[in-house]
Structure 1
Amino acid sequence: MKHWDAVEILVQVVDSGSFSAAARQLGISKSHASRRLSALENQLGVQLLTRSTRSLALTETGEAYYLRCKSILAQMRETELAVMEQQDTPRGNLRISVAGAFGERYVAPAAAEFLHLHPALNMHIDFSSRNVDLVEEGYDLAIRAGTLRDSSLIARRIAERRLLICGSRDYFDRYGIPQNLRDLRNHSCLVGSLATWRFRERDGQHSELKVEGRWRSNNGHALLAAARRGLGLVQLPEFYVYDDLQAGRLQAVMNDYQPTDTAVWAVYPHNRHLSAKVSLFIDFLCERFRQIDYLS
């Protein structure tokens, strides 16, 4: 509104009882307050105040206008306070899109703990591997793993996602240990939802190699089960195979080719003033995952 500052002046003048007192409250000059109020009356085409050297009073139209504007100003101040408070205290609804085993095993328990700490917050977690439209579908953020494509979203790295090539000791006893990408062509590879594995070349560039084998599955636990049985090599995030590596059931190979551009990301719409609930939740996830060796 072009003359909204004049509306604030009108309310303050009436509440204070004079232009002088209102000007002091607003930190402006008495003459400026008078000019702005006159401009408002000219814009509306009505007289809001009757003035004299000793007193001022609202006209009938002015009183109706004053009461409406005073109510609007009060609502605006309440809204501003609510927004400012929300920047310090998470409240309302937090809607998240997550995918896969990482979401089930790590994000969901962390989200439950976060919700326990913030009783004014409601949490909605949607498990889906599809590429959701955060803005159109009303999500506050998504947790995604892997390499990120260019987009208008903001991404923050919240955990490492090291991809390891592993096999059982029995498999290596029978077929040997691959040393380079060329060797993989002579090995049975357990194929996941993608027919390619990702690598970091000797020159630091990343590439993908098509792999083949007797076993194909779009489930990480199924691939892990096949690797344990010695059916072939598998490329999986470290959190899948960590326990097996520690127990000696699997052995990691070709670590020099491990890609460095994959991670777990929190992605959210571009927003200069990120809400407290989203910002604090992302910070919370980062702190939780930092405490887990194979995610930090």
Structure 2
Amino acid sequence: MKLNYSLDDMRLFWVVAKSGSFRVAAKQLEMPPSTLSRRISALESALGLRLLHRDAHRINLTGTGQQYLERCGPLFRELNDISGELNAEKHEPAGLLRMAVPVNTTYRWLADALNEFQLRYPKIDLEVRMSNWNIDMGEHAIDLAIRVGEPSLMGWIARPLTGVQFILCASKNATQWHNIAHPNDLARHPLVVSFPVSPWHFEHKTSRESVEYHPQGNVRLSVDDMNIAMKAVEAGVGIGYLPKRVVCEQMREKSLINIAPDWLGPQRRTYLLYRDRQNQPLRLRLLIDHLLQVAPTEY
């Protein structure tokens, strides 16, 4: 049987039955009493049952109306609870956020930033997926992501977060590799490749010549972790194309050498990605603001 009333008609009946008065219920619902009375009458007509006895001053439930109230009451109490919880998301710093972030970003600065955030907001929980590969954001219900390079996700807002600059490095002991005049010279030497950073891009400091080099054929190690790649380069396995901030300590200690100081990788931007600028829960807005504030200029 097709019923010609809506869930909203049931809700109106529930409010009237709880308040015991059309006038009081109409005030709560912010609608004219006459409109409310007409909607309840339409509900009774659709059901073919009388739910209320009306008189000039008050209403009484019929036996059928009492049964109807007992069945629909828990439903609307649950809906009110859900609405209250969802409304709290706009105003309370609490709940779960799911993030997708690169491994190296987490090691270099993000882990400390997230620890600071959770200590400040103890009711906000984080679920962090670390990967250097771009995971399916929708499938994993990701609220916030960090990605290196220009993002190409439809429907996602991208905010510039920090910068990454790459340099050519070799072990201090691998002196045979210390005189790279041009990126094309790399074809003659063993390489360590850290995915997904490929191809390798270079720009000459003075001439501004740009070169795109595709490592192939002479790759000794391919790995999707910058720290492992750095260790391999430091050990002398091959030449690496690594972020300047990742190798800064090794450069100071002279265990790694910048073997082509005139050729630098163009600065790659890191972006903060999220979906909706308007209807965000408070916990997400707080985390976005925190990361934009504490992110280093370069790493």
Aligned to 2:80: 77
How far apart are the structure 2 equivalents of 1:175 and 1:265? 34
Q: CA deviation at 1:38?
A: 0.7
Q: What is the aligned counterpart of 2:266 among 259, 266, 280?
A: 259
Q: CA deviation at 1:86?
A: 1.8
Pick closer, same or farther for the CA change 1:187–1:172 going to 2, 3 Å. Answer: farther
Matches within 5 A, 1:153-232: 153-166=156-169, 176=179, 178=181, 181=183, 184=185, 188=189, 190-193=191-194, 196-199=199-202, 208-211=212-215, 216-218=221-223, 219-225=225-231
How far apart are the structure 2 equivalents of 1:33 and 1:171? 85
How far apart are the structure 1 equivalents of 2:158 and 2:284? 13
Whether 2:54 is the aligned partner of 1:46: answer no
Secondary structure of the residue that 1:273 maps to in structure 2?
coil
Whether 2:277 is the aligned partner of 1:274: answer no
Pick closer, same or farther for the CA change 1:95–1:47 going to 2, 3 Å. Answer: same
Alpha carbons 2:199, 2:214 under 8 Å: kept: yes
Alpha carbons 1:163, 1:258 under 8 Å: kept: yes
Secondary structure of the residue that 1:253 maps to in structure 2?
coil
- Kindly provide the CA deviation profile for residues 242-275 of structure 1, in whole angstroms up to 9, marking residues without a partner as x: 33556676446245x6334x33334456796333
Pick closer, same or farther for the CA change 1:165–1:34 going to 2, 3 Å. Answer: same
Pick closer, same or farther for the CA change 1:100–1:30 going to 2, 3 Å. Answer: closer
Whether 2:236 is the aligned partner of 1:235: answer no
Alpha carbons 2:95, 2:123 under 8 Å: kept: yes
Pick closer, same or farther for the CA change 1:242–1:91 going to 2, 3 Å. Answer: same
Unmatched runs of 5 consecutive residues or more in structure 2: none
Query: Which residue identity is paired with 2:261?
Result: V
Secondary structure of the residue that 1:294 maps to in structure 2?
coil
Q: CA deviation at 1:84?
A: 1.8
Higher mean Cα deviation, 207-216 or 39-48?
207-216
The aligned length equals 289
Higher mean Cα deviation, 18-27 or 45-54?
18-27
Pick closer, same or farther for the CA change 1:274–1:164 going to 2, 3 Å. Answer: farther
Secondary structure of the residue that 1:243 maps to in structure 2?
helix
Q: Percent identity?
A: 27
Secondary structure of the residue that 2:298 maps to in structure 1?
helix
Secondary structure of the residue that 2:38 maps to in structure 1?
helix
Pick closer, same or farther for the CA change 1:151–1:259 going to 2, 3 Å. Answer: farther
How far apart are the structure 2 equivalents of 1:277 and 1:205? 45
Alpha carbons 2:93, 2:283 under 8 Å: kept: yes
Pick closer, same or farther for the CA change 1:8–1:237 going to 2, 3 Å. Answer: same
What root-mean-square deviation, in Å, do the aligned CA atoms of Structure 1 and Structure 2 show?
A: 3.9
Unmatched runs of 5 consecutive residues or more in structure 1: none
Q: Which has the higher helix share?
A: 1
Secondary structure of the residue that 2:294 maps to in structure 1?
helix
Alpha carbons 2:101, 2:132 under 8 Å: kept: yes
Aligned to 1:61: 64
Q: CA deviation at 1:288?
A: 1.8
Q: CA deviation at 1:60?
A: 0.6
How far apart are the structure 2 equivalents of 1:150 and 1:129? 17
Query: Which residue identity is paired with 2:34?
Result: S
Secondary structure of the residue that 1:158 maps to in structure 2?
strand
Alpha carbons 2:194, 2:229 under 8 Å: kept: no
Query: Which residue identity is paired with 1:144?
Result: R
Q: What is the aligned counterpart of 1:23 among 26, 38, 47?
A: 26
Secondary structure of the residue that 2:192 maps to in structure 1?
coil
Alpha carbons 1:177, 1:253 under 8 Å: kept: no
Query: Which residue identity is paired with 1:44?
Result: L
Structure 2-normalised TM-score?
A: 0.74
Q: CA deviation at 1:48?
A: 0.7
Higher mean Cα deviation, 148-157 or 112-121?
148-157
